[in-house]
Structure 1
Amino acid sequence: MRAREIRRYEQLLRRLDITIPVPFDARTFSEHIADKRGRPIHILPMDTSDATAPCGLWLATAKADYVVVDNRAPAVLREHILLHELAHLLCDHRGRLRLDAADLSFDFLDPAMVERVLGRTSHYPDAQEREAEGVASVISRFAARRSPVPRPRDDADERTAALDRVSSALAADRSWKT
C-alpha cells in the first residue's frame, strides 16, 4: 500500500468518526459501526473452506447487515476477514457477486431480500476489493498501535502464533503517520 492510499483510508475512518476500542476487539468495533449506522450487524461464523466459496461475505438487506467469516481460519485471519467485510460496509461498496454464486446456503435468509453481496477471496481483482483490504489493514495497524494488551488467541496453533508475531512486528513499524 502506498502512503497516499494509507492517508486516504485514514481520512475516511476519521470522517466516519467510529470509536476504535482499546484494547481492540473486532466484534466490539462492529458494534460501534452498527450503533453509528443505526442498523444491526450480525456476524456469522461458517465453514467456507470449500474452494468455490469466499472466506468472507458481507450481505446487506433492508434491515440489517450480515458478515460471514470463515470459522476454520486462524484467529488473526478471522479478525482480518471481519475487518475487510466491515470495510466494504464503511465504504458503501456495491456488490457484483450473486448470492447463489457464493455457494453458501442461509436457512434464515431469503436470497430475494439480499440487496448487496460482497465476498473476500485471496485475490483482489477490482478497486472495491483493494480498497476494502486497504481500509481493513489501516484499521488493524491503528488498533495494534493503541492496544496495550495482546489480543487473545483461541487456540495454540503455531501458525496463528507466528501470524500474531508478524502482525505485532508490522504494527511496531511507526514510520507512517495517522
Structure 2
Amino acid sequence: MNESRLRYVIRKELDQLGIVGPADMAEVCRRFGARRGKPLKLVAYPLEVPGPFGLWIATPAADFIIYQKETTNAHQQHIIAHELGHIISGHTADDADEDGLGGSFPDIPPDHVRRALRRTHYDTVQEREAETAATLLLERAAVLEQISLPSRTPRARRAQQAFGEQQDWL
C-alpha cells in the first residue's frame, strides 16, 4: 500500500476510534481492540538485545503487542505504533491455539511465543508499511502539539495563546 493510501486508512481508522487529537498508543490500542471486539493487549517485556524491539502475537482471544521494557517511553510508543501499523496494514501474525497457556506470557500459548520470538522481521514491503504507519500515527501529534494556527481576532489570539489551543491531527 502506498503512503497516500496508508495515510487515508490511518486517518479513517482514527476517526472511527474517535481519536481527534494526540493520544498515547495505549489509548489508541484500547479503542482499536474494543472496536474490533478483540482486545489488543500491551505487554512491556525485557526483550533480548540484539533482537526485535517489539512483536505482534495474534491469538483467537486477543492480540498482544510485546514491546521492549528497557527503553525510553518515546521509543516504546514508536514500537507499539509500529506493531499496530502491521495490524492496520492488514499484515498477518501467526495464529495460536488457546491451549497451553503459561511461561513468560501466561495469557499466550508458549508455542506461539516461541514462534514469534524466532521471527525477527517481516518482508521489506511490510516493514516499510509498518514503519510508515508508525510515523503517521506519531508525527502529527508531536508536530501539532507545538503549533497553532493564528486566530482572526486579537481577543481570540490572546485566548489561544493563554490556553495553548491544539489543532486536529492527521
TM bucket (normalised to shorter chain) is 0.5 to 0.7
Which AA in structure 2 matches 1:6?
E
- After TM superposition, give the deviation of residue 10 of structure 1 in Å: 1.2
Structure with higher Rg: it is 2
**Residues 21 and 68 of structure 1: CA distance in aligned 2, closer, same or farther (over 3 Å):** farther
Output one character per residue of 1:19-64: Cα deviation in whole Å (capped at 9) or x when no partner: 335342111111111122111111100001432x311000000110
Of 59, 65, 68, the residue aligned with 1:67 is: 65
Aligned residue in 2 for 1:36: 35
Gaps of 5+ in 1: 97-103, 149-176
Aligned residue in 1 for 2:19: 20
Q: TM-score, normalised by structure 1?
A: 0.64
Aligned residue in 1 for 2:132: 134
Please tell me whether the aligned partners of residues 44 and 69 of structure 1 are also in contact (alpha carbons under 8 angstroms).
yes
Aligned residue in 2 for 1:7: 4
Distance of 1:118 and 1:85 partners within structure 2: 14
Aligned residue in 1 for 2:46: 47
Which AA in structure 1 matches 2:141?
A
> Aligned pairs, how many?
139
Give 3-state SS (helix, strand or coil) of 1:48's partner: coil
- After TM superposition, give the deviation of residue 120 of structure 1 in Å: 9.1
**Residues 13 and 63 of structure 1: CA distance in aligned 2, closer, same or farther (over 3 Å):** same
- After TM superposition, give the deviation of residue 14 of structure 1 in Å: 2.9
**Residues 117 and 12 of structure 1: CA distance in aligned 2, closer, same or farther (over 3 Å):** farther
Q: TM-score, normalised by structure 2?
A: 0.67
Which AA in structure 2 matches 1:32?
R
Which AA in structure 2 matches 1:27?
A
Give 3-state SS (helix, strand or coil) of 2:67's partner: strand
- After TM superposition, give the deviation of residue 119 of structure 1 in Å: 8.9
Distance of 2:111 and 2:122 partners within structure 1: 27
